[in-house]
Amino acid sequence: MLWIKSLHIVFVASWFAGLFYLPRIFVNLALVPVGSVAERERLLLMADKLLRFMGPLAVLALGFGLWLWLGYGIGKGPGNGWLHAKLGVVLLVIGYHHACSSLLKKFVAGTDRRSHTWYRWFNEAPVLLLLCAVILVVVKPF
Tens digit of each residue's pLDDT, the chain (142 residues): 899 999 999 999 999 999 999 999 999 999 999 899 999 999 999 999 999 999 999 999 999 999 998 887 766 777 788 999 999 999 999 999 999 999 999 999 999 999 999 999 999 999 999 999 999 999 999 8
How many domains is the chain partitioned into structurally?
1
Domain span including residue 132: 2-139
One-letter amino acid at 98 equals H
Phi-psi region of 67 (alpha: psi -120 to 50; beta: other; left: phi over 0): alpha
pLDDT tens across 52-73, in order?
Answer: 999 999 999 999 999 998 887 7
One-letter amino acid at 84 equals H
One-letter amino acid at 126 equals P
Residue 97 near residue 126, CB atoms below 8 Å: no
3-state class of 113 per DSSP? coil
Burial category of 79 from C-beta neighbours within 10 Å (exposed 0-12, middle 13-18, buried 19 and up)? exposed
Of 102, 26, 19, residue with least CA distance to 61: 19
Which pTM was predicted?
0.93
